[in-house]
Amino acid sequence: MLDFTQYSDSAGSLDVDAAPAATSDSDQSLLDAYSNAVIGVTERVGPAVVRVETGAHTPGGRGPGGLGSGIVISPDGLVLTNSHVVGSSRQIRLRDIEGVVTDARVLGVDPDTDLALLRADGARDLHYASLGNSRHLRRGQLVVAIGNPLGFESTVTAGVVSALGRSIRSVSGRTIEDVIQTDAALNPGNSGGPLVSSAGEVIGINTAIISGAQGICFAVASNTAQFVLSEIIRHGYVRRAYIGVSGQTAPVPRRHAVIAGVDNKMGALLAQIEPNGPASRAGLLPGDVVIGLDGVAINGVDDLIRVLDRDRIGRTLKMDVLRLGRLREIDIHPVERKTAGK
């Protein structure tokens, strides 16, 4: 009978049972490193995550109310969450990890990025988390999502950064740029909660899930959140430029591109021009195709919307337009867009 439990030779003996034990120790070490990273992030940021309740508690409110998550970003009670969590509510309740409830008010909302800024009333020296620099993220990096999915408070999930620089459509119809895609599991109620790096910095605000897709979740980058935060604090809303048009993305006929000497395959086809608006005063007409603005190539409506930021309010800009196949350069003077939050 052959005995496989031990092999002896002149060099000594070898116990084959030792190899699986070594492998098991190695796996345990790796697991501990991963677990310790997630545990460290949770203990550091978890106390700053709050439950955001809206709806029925407000005067005259009906129905069960809304539920989401938020992250405290300053000790005096500034809280970031999603605008779709807040909705039209102007009175909010926040519940922290210890069960303490406080009222909050809405400082400003930005549906174009699905972000909202709240302030907890009468609360000071709160647990808070810091916003990190989302430009330092790399695909494959460990991230942790904390929130209240389906009402289960302080739930933690972990995953990796699946992709960077994604674009998704906001409830306002505008595209949200520089979105982080992750496989950290999110469910309704996670919205507004933080996406956190292994360093314990908030690098995203969880915002959306593609219905029917597993493991595809999104967060608004922290750099976008920082911009929205500063705009709301300064103005109460996010300032953007406006020219008074509606349109759609449309292909540029090859013959028109050749005649005009441009490389655009797509452009922003103007469908309607607002009377007495900046576009109307500049002489734009329905049917014009915008292919450039202020030196930036325009390959669709989303490009046009993105270029019309706060830095172009009140300036005279050069707009390149194809009209009946001919290239025209038009001067246009964008104004500040009126918003409901103004």
Q: Which residues are catalytic?
A: 84, 114, 191
Sign of the alpha-carbon dihedral angle for 245, 284, 325, 267: negative
CA distance 128 to 257: 54
CA distance 219 to 168: 10
206: tokens are 């969880």
CA distance 265 to 252: 5
Q: What is the DSSP secondary-structure string of 173-220?
A: SPEEEEEEEE-S---TT-TT-EEEETTS-EEEEEEEE-TT-TT-EEEE
Cβ within 8 Å of residue 266, ≥6 positions away: 249, 250, 251, 252, 299, 300
CA distance 26 to 302: 50
128 DSSP assignment: -
Specify the DSSP element, H or E, that contains 127: none
Report the candidate in 178, 146, 172 with the shortest Cα–Cα distance to residue 159: 146
Beta-sheet pairing, 155-169 with 175-182:
antiparallel
CA distance 117 to 108: 5
Sign of the alpha-carbon dihedral angle for 52, 56, 60, 63: positive
